[in-house]
């Protein structure tokens, strides 16, 4: 960074939008001012005060204000083409500055229309009707559903499975053997009673009843 640029940083904190450095000085442009920093010191001009730029006479570049020069810089310090491009930027920013500073035509807003007076509130009626209560779904009676018709008798009978006829069980071979044992037991008891008529009466009754009971049990078991 050159000494001219360091001096420019000390002069302003505004953004430098364009600058041109020559052998004997520095031209710098911000959005509000134009600076020239040379060996003879610092010259600055507000963009709104610049009217025109004149160069070439006596080798001096002059930035004119309303009635007097604002900045004078030697032309030999800069390249002519670069100097022309730099002042094109200056011209554009000067035009923006003047457009922004031009006062807008002052127009007074029309006085606001007077607010209409509020209408007097209507007189309250002597008797007010009671507020109607809203009807909700809960107030409605529940719908009556008709009872279901019974199914026809034929269908009821058809849905019930018919009971299977009871089948009589037979004992088979084992049943036949039990029947033979039953008859044999009954015969043995009768034979013992017949062969011992002189035995004690209690023994005779016991043998007869016992033999008859065993025979009945065996006969019943043969039918299972």
Comparing 223 with 48, the larger pLDDT belongs to 48
The tokens describing 125, both together, are: 């009626």
The per-residue pLDDT for 122 is: 56
Residues 94 and 179 in one domain: no
Comparing 117 with 141, the larger pLDDT belongs to 117
Final residue in a domain of this structure, among 101, 133, 154: 101
The per-residue pLDDT for 117 is: 65
Q: Is 107 exposed, middle or buried (0-12, 13-18, 19+ CB in 10 A)?
A: exposed
Pairing between β-strand 25-30 and β-strand 16-21 as defined by DSSP bridges: antiparallel
Comparing 212 with 123, the larger pLDDT belongs to 212
The fraction of the chain above a pLDDT of 70, given in percent, is 67
Classify residue 34: in a domain, yes or no: yes
Comparing 168 with 106, the larger pLDDT belongs to 168
The tokens describing 188, both together, are: 């043995």
Query: Looking at the 3D structure of the chain, how many domains does it have?
Result: 2
State yes or no: pLDDT of 129 exceeds 90.
no
Final residue in a domain of this structure, among 76, 101, 126: 101
Classify residue 122: in a domain, yes or no: no
Final residue in a domain of this structure, among 101, 131, 154: 101
Rounded-to-integer distance, Cα 43 and Cα 21, Å: 15
The per-residue pLDDT for 29 is: 93
The per-residue pLDDT for 121 is: 60
The fraction of the chain above a pLDDT of 90, given in percent, is 22
Domain limits for position 58: 3-101
- pLDDT by residue (tens digit) across 189-201? 888 888 888 888 8
Buried b (16+ CB within 10 A) or exposed e, 146-184: eeeeeeeeeeeeeeeeeeeeeeeeeeeeebeebbebbee
For residues 171 and 224, the answer to whether their CB atoms sit within 8 Å is yes
Classify residue 28: in a domain, yes or no: yes
> How many CA atoms lie less than 13 Å away from 100 in the CB half-sphere?
10
State yes or no: pLDDT of 82 exceeds 60.
yes
Confidence of residue 123 (pLDDT cuts 50, 70, 90): low
Classify residue 51: in a domain, yes or no: yes
State yes or no: pLDDT of 50 exceeds 70.
yes
Confidence of residue 155 (pLDDT cuts 50, 70, 90): very low
For residues 29 and 21, the answer to whether their CB atoms sit within 8 Å is no
Classify residue 134: in a domain, yes or no: no
Q: Which residues contact 174 (CB under 8 A, 6 or more apart)?
A: 222
Rounded-to-integer distance, Cα 141 and Cα 91, Å: 89
Coil, strand, or helix at residue 208? helix
State yes or no: pLDDT of 224 exceeds 50.
yes
What CATH number is given to the structural domain containing 55?
Answer: 2.30.29.30
State yes or no: pLDDT of 126 exceeds 50.
no
Rounded-to-integer distance, Cα 173 and Cα 181, Å: 13
The per-residue pLDDT for 161 is: 52
């Amino acid at each position: 960074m050159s000494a001219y640029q360091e001096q420019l940083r000390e002069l302003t904190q505004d953004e430098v939008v364009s600058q041109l450095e020559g052998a004997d000085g520095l031209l710098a442009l911000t959005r509000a001012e134009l600076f020239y920093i040379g060996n003879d010191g610092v010259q600055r001009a507000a963009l709104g005060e610049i009217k025109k730029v004149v160069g070439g006479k006596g080798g001096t570049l002059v930035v004119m204000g309303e009635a007097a020069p604002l900045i004078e810089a030697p032309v030999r310090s800069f390249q002519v083409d670069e100097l022309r491009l730099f002042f094109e930027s200056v011209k554009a920013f000067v035009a923006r500055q003047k457009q922004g500073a031009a006062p807008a035509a002052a127009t007074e807003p029309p006085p606001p229309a007077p607010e209409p007076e509020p209408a007097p509130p209507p007189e309250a009626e002597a008797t007010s009707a009671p507020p109607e209560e809203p009807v909700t779904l809960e107030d409605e009676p529940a719908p009556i559903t008709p009872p279901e018709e019974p199914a026809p008798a034929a269908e009821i009978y058809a849905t019930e499975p018919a009971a299977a006829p009871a089948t009589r069980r037979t004992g088979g071979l084992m049943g036949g053997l039990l029947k033979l044992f039953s008859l044999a037991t009954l015969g043995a008891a009768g034979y013992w009673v017949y062969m011992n008529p002189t035995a004690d009466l209690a023994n005779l009754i016991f043998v007869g009843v016992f033999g008859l009971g065993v025979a009945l049990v065996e006969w019943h078991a043969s039918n299972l």
